[in-house]
Chains A and B, each alone.
Chain A
Amino acid sequence: MNKTTLFLLIAGLYAATAHAGHSDYLTSLTSSAREKGLGKDSLELLIPQPGPGKEQAATKLRSLLAQGTLGRSLTVKLGRPTQQGKKGVSYVTDKGSLEVFADGSRFRLRGNLDAVKPLPSGNKAPLAADRLEKLGRDFVSQQLKAFVAIPRGEKLTFLGTKNLRQGGSDLQGKRHSEELFASIAIFGREVGGVPVVGSGSKIAVWFNPDGQVIGADVDWPKYRRSGENVPLLKRDALFKRVEASTTRFAENKESKMTRFECGYVDLGATRRSTKTPIQPGCSVAYQGYDPESAATSWAKVEYVPAAQKVLPDNRWPLAVFIAGSGEPEPGKLIPVPGDEPPKDAAQSAVEPKK
């Protein structure tokens, strides 16, 4: 089997399990990673730069929301914070809200969602993906330009769409309704042609059925190129590490790998630190099914470092493990510190029949 046939076969297998809302670009990341891993011998580390600070970002965003600069449906006057803590500052009202997290590089905006007029299903087709992409890109480049810098060598990528739907029925199922409440365009980032995987460097723009922006979720740091290149694992060694940490690539009775994307791993604003470089790795999504029904029983995403020499990152347990103890062994769990609860001593030991 030649390389092209193998690639098409992998792409075909992935397409069978792909999500309807994923863009062709996002789908291609799995096909590409399964064919060649990162497809490079080495990669330059990125250094996250300090954000503007959550208070400063909040002040600027509140001003834009009050002026109506972000759009008619994102116009709201927000007074005092409803909460202010280590993790973030929030201003929540029934007419709109703003939350700013961590160092100010992540925030969530919502307009007056009570004013949205849902679109009954069947009345009119929802906005198509290419239209949502266009509207989303316009919003990011115009209304969000002060918060979303895209320097030379970086790119805003379109990851796909989601829809918020709502429905209901009488108990007999004689009368029922289904409506579209919002469509959401999702964007990611490439740095030097390498995608950023994980929660960081993501933007979601929310639209009402008329195409007006009613919300946005932004996690967009500035990166500095470190000048330090780290050698990457070859494809086979990378796949061995991935399988040891997650599941086999081939579908098996326990689980199925549904997504596999490699690039820079940014775990998001609350896990990002200016002291820890953004390093190469892969995002692996896999899931299992309840044997007694067709329903999904569990789903996991694991982030697997891809460098030969992994840097410790105290917010990334697998990176800490590999940096300190070497390669993970298949089936052996990497400890994740957490507060395990006790058994309820009063609980009856007698279980009802299955």
Chain B
Amino acid sequence: MKFLFTFFLTLMLAASAVLYGADNSHAAHFGTRCQQDFQNSWQTNLSYVWRRCSWFNNELDDTDTKDFYYNLHGARTAFSSCDDCGAGPDDVHLFYVSTHGGADATDARLVMWDQNVRARSNTDNWRLGDEDRHAAFFAQYACSTLKLDGIIDRWVNTFRGGLIMATGSHDKLYDSLTTDETGEDFADDLQDGKRVKWAWFDGNGDWWEDQDVAILASGSSNTSAHDAQADCHYRRDRVKWQNFGDYARWRDNDVEWMCWSWITDN
């Protein structure tokens, strides 16, 4: 009986993903912005960022369209939602960034090249996924942006634009000689057709270094199953680079549940 219930729930969630607001944007575009050194050395240099990001690009552009690869000089406004920003997370289906990260009481924060400048999720009104491109994935090789304590408050407004998933870390992602391939491996796993969750976890895994990988998704009861939690789990666990166009975009008050997954030391 439980099996039948689970089967029908899964079927309804799968159907609702297609029925409600699918945009079917199969021509996948991605963009990358990264920073290795910082103005007046205001932040510690990260030696392997250029490799990580350029190798991510080199892999993913074998199958998809790279729209841009820029550094983070004067880039804070590119993270805010706007139609004409041109080179930020809202301008592509998948945006990949690597820099220092962080989280405070109100914001997830990404460090820019410019001294004392950070892009901030709530302060800068991030709301991703509601512009022409319909951004789907925001991948951050940066520390702590998905810190678990307070994660909903820091991210829910970003997801209210329709973003499907943010990937990153609840604590540490190491800059290292053995993690310079993580961008390439993530891209490779996306191309393989893995779920985005597993692509992020496997692509960034290193069993010597303590890689604290995490992902975040949203859910709504605006489905035939009327179950926001189950919808969130379905999206978190199932979405792929090849099928994200089939997923409904939950915007504004449609977002009722947020769910995450993470690998931890305890």
B32:A341 contact, CB within 8 angstroms: yes
Instruction: Please give, as numbers and ranges, the residues of chain A lying within 8 Å of B228 by CB-CB distance.
Output: 170
Knowing A162-B265, A285-B174, A344-B86, the reply to whether A293 touches B104 (Cβ < 8 A) is yes
Nearest chain A CB to B208 CB, angstrom units: 5
A290:B178 contact, CB within 8 angstroms: no
Closest residue of B by beta carbon distance from A353: B123
Nearest chain A CB to B4 CB, angstrom units: 16
A199:B233 contact, CB within 8 angstroms: no
Q: How large is the interface on B (under 10, 10 to 19, 20 to 34, 35 or more residues)?
A: 35 or more
Knowing A293-B103, A338-B49, A347-B73, the reply to whether A165 touches B44 (Cβ < 8 A) is no
CA distance A203 to B173 in the complex (A): 20
B77:A351 contact, CB within 8 angstroms: yes
B209:A341 contact, CB within 8 angstroms: no
B71:A340 contact, CB within 8 angstroms: yes
B178:A346 contact, CB within 8 angstroms: no
Q: How large is the interface on A (under 10, 10 to 19, 20 to 34, 35 or more residues)?
A: 35 or more
Knowing A199-B206, A341-B69, the reply to whether A297 touches B144 (Cβ < 8 A) is yes
Residue A354 is within 8 A (CB to CB) of chain B in the complex? yes
A20:B265 contact, CB within 8 angstroms: yes
B255:A83 contact, CB within 8 angstroms: no
Residue A108 is within 8 A (CB to CB) of chain B in the complex? yes
Knowing A295-B143, A334-B47, A339-B50, the reply to whether A199 touches B208 (Cβ < 8 A) is yes
B152:A162 contact, CB within 8 angstroms: no
A-binding segment of B11-19, B22-30, B111-119, B129-137: B111-119
Instruction: Please give, as numbers and ranges, the residues of chain B lying within 8 Å of A288 by CB-CB distance.
Output: 44
Nearest chain B CB to A164 CB, angstrom units: 5
Identify which of residues 42-57 in chain B touch chain A, using a CB-to-CB cut-off of 8 Å. 43-51, 53-54
A268:B198 contact, CB within 8 angstroms: no
B74:A347 contact, CB within 8 angstroms: yes
CA distance A288 to B178 in the complex (A): 19
Kindly identify which residue among A82, A181, A254 contacts B192, using a CB–CB cutoff of 8 Å. Answer: A82
A290:B257 contact, CB within 8 angstroms: no
Residue A169 is within 8 A (CB to CB) of chain B in the complex? yes
Instruction: Please give, as numbers and ranges, the residues of chain A lying within 8 Å of B68 by CB-CB distance.
Output: 344
CA distance A35 to B92 in the complex (A): 51
Q: Taking A301-B208, A344-B74 as given, write out 8 further A-B residue pairs in contact, using a Cβ cutoff of 8 Å, ordered by the A residue number.
A: A92-B194, A169-B257, A296-B172, A299-B143, A301-B177, A333-B47, A338-B51, A346-B86
